[in-house]
Amino acid sequence: MYKRRFTKADGRALYLYGQRPIDDARLAGPETPGHNPAHLRWHPLLNTWVIYAAHRQDRTFLPPAERCPLCPGHEIPFPHFEVAVFENRFPALARMPAPPPPDIPIPARPGVGRAEVVVYTEAHQGSIASLTTAHRRLLVRVWVDRYRELFADEAVAYVMPFENRGEAVGVTLHHPHGQIYAYPFIPPVAATEADAFAERPVLLELLPRLRPYTIEETRAFVAFVPPFARFPYEVWIAPKRQHPGPWTFDEAELDEFADILGNVVRRYDALFAKPLPYVMALHAAPKGVERFHFHVEFYPPMRSQDKRKYLAGTELGAGTFVVDVLPETAAETLRKVL
């Protein structure tokens, strides 16, 4: 993998990754400055931080293809690229100076961290599934590189690459891309998972019993519908060996991970014969935590071809999910769909 770091005119970092040496011939054009007025406020009942980033109301929203900021020549001022990563112009967290939080009757702090955009390809249309095998394997290595670099920042406690795909989950740009948040605190889901893994190897105990729920398997990985799924057609991908994060995978495991990732998305797109909206999140260990089992979670909001699952009273008010599709049914359907 080749990597080049550039500094945009407004000071934001831009990284280009490729399978071949990277040319530095930029395109001319104006660049819009980024800014970071975000701050954090403490939620005293849930014991966690809430991020406030009101400037994100002004971010680009579903522009026509010719105005897509992720195509070559806009946010990425190069005529061609394979994978690009840049600091978000509308960040929820950023390393750039943040103003002090307002004087309020609860703890508050500046929104210091990182929010990066990961552009999977220069092509305006496509998905993880439509990338070539080599390109998808490159993307996986980009995630590993970002984990290593972001965790090196002393202000960062947790790193999460994720992807929001489809208007049903609120995506604002159709160009194939994901994001990475580097948090200055450990978010509650990661903290709860870390506590569970510290107590016992939960996934290692579960994996041998998942044969009825398995939809895809390789030498080193299993993709399965968790028997406790909270979303219809929810899928997890986990390595058969316990890894704190993909940065401990060997080269063969990185390749297998990329391959099974593409196959899961391919199954999703075949499920209803159209691209399935989803949120995908990579769950790795917080900084300094070794007893953790890295895994990927997919949350598709569709419960059928034309029916969406909405989070309603019991999910939002009580945090208890009601699921419309049995995990056993979802697993059988996803197994057979290809």
Amino acid identity at 60: T
Element (H, E) at 148: helix 133-151
> How many whole angstroms separate alpha carbon 297 and alpha carbon 62?
26
Which residues, including other chains, have CB under 8 Å from residue 179's CB and lie 6 or more apart? 88, 115, 116, 117, 118, 161, 162, 163, 164
Handedness of CA 99, 108, 92, 24 (dihedral sign): positive
Write down how long the chain is.
Answer: 338
**Separation between Cα atoms, residue 94 and residue 117, nearest integer Å:** 12
In a 13 Å sphere around the CA of 264, the CA atoms on its Cβ side amount to 32
User: Is 234 within 8 Å of 297 (Cβ atoms)?
Assistant: yes
Distance between CA atoms of residues 276 and 260, nearest Å: 17
Q: How many angstroms separate the CA atoms of 331 and 336, rounded? A: 9
Whole-number Å distance between alpha carbons of 103 and 192: 30
Distance from C-alpha of 323 to C-alpha of 232, rounded to nearest angstrom: 6
Specify whether 177 is catalytic. Answer: yes
Q: Which listed residue (135, 175, 177, 283) is catalytic?
A: 177
Residue 233 per-residue DSSP state: T
Known catalytic residues?
177
